[in-house]
Amino acid sequence: VAELPGLDARRVVVAGGSQGGGLALAAAGLLGDRVAAVMPDVPFLCHFRRAVQITGEGPYPEIAKYLRWHSRHRVEPTFATLDYFDGVHFAQRATAPALFSVGLMDPICPASTVYAAFNHYAGEDRTMTVWPFADHGGGCGSNPPVQLDWLAERGLAPEQ
């Protein structure tokens, strides 16, 4: 994390929803101990193979369509390439405290793909907020208070 005036590098938190959640996992995995915490909400870009097999929403059907036409020789090389971007692999490298969220009715980022990243997360301090009836919006407006409470428990809440 670059030195910026007024920045307390010990309090940098990466967060985002959907694609931003996948990118937050990537940042946490790549930056290591330079990240104080990570909060991926309904993270996209996790467990590509599983997502392609079970969902017909979002961009995953594009991969299925490609593989339908090229499946004879391209399945394994395709997933090997996607592994470079898979949040599960970034999660395996990340150790900062993590607060994930998942919508159990999410057709774009199926819960099993979010749990794959969560279950492979290398950090010991990891929590999952489950929104049982939520779709890709996750907890929507209910999630920020959960996040702020979680950050406060770790001494990382924004100063009032």
Predicted confidence at residue 143, as pLDDT, reads: 94
**d(C-alpha 130, C-alpha 55), whole Å:** 19
Predicted confidence at residue 55, as pLDDT, reads: 93
Predicted confidence at residue 5, as pLDDT, reads: 81
User: Is 136 designated active site?
Assistant: yes
> Which is the catalytic residue, given 18, 47, 86, 120?
18
Give which of 135, 139, 117 is closest to 50, Cα–Cα: 117
154 pLDDT exceeds 90?
Answer: yes
User: Is 112 designated active site?
Assistant: no
129 pLDDT exceeds 90?
Answer: yes
**d(C-alpha 106, C-alpha 135), whole Å:** 4
137 pLDDT exceeds 90?
Answer: yes
Of the candidate ranges 1-5, 14-18, 87-91, 133-137, the one whose mean pLDDT is the lowest: 1-5
For the chain, counts of helices (H) and of strands (E): 6, 4
139: its two tokens: 């907890």
Over range 75-89, report the average pLDDT.
96
Over range 140-160, report the average pLDDT.
92
Predicted confidence at residue 4, as pLDDT, reads: 78
Give me the phi and psi of 14, to 5 degrees please: -105, 135
Over range 68-83, report the average pLDDT.
92
> Which is the catalytic residue, given 89, 106, 125, 149?
106
H or E stretch including 151? helix 143-153
Which band of pLDDT confidence, cut at 50, 70 and 90, is reported for residue 159?
Answer: confident
Predicted confidence at residue 51, as pLDDT, reads: 97
Q: Which CATH architecture has domain 9-153?
A: 3-Layer(aba) Sandwich (3.40)
Predicted confidence at residue 2, as pLDDT, reads: 59
* Whether the Cβ atoms of residue 75 and residue 48 lie closer than 8 Å to each other: no
Average pLDDT, the chain: 94
pLDDT digits (tens, 9 = 90+) for 4-62: 787 787 899 999 999 999 999 999 999 999 999 999 999 999 999 999 999 998 899 99
> Which is the catalytic residue, given 89, 112, 135, 136?
136
Taking the model in full, what pTM does it have? 0.92
**d(C-alpha 32, C-alpha 118), whole Å:** 16
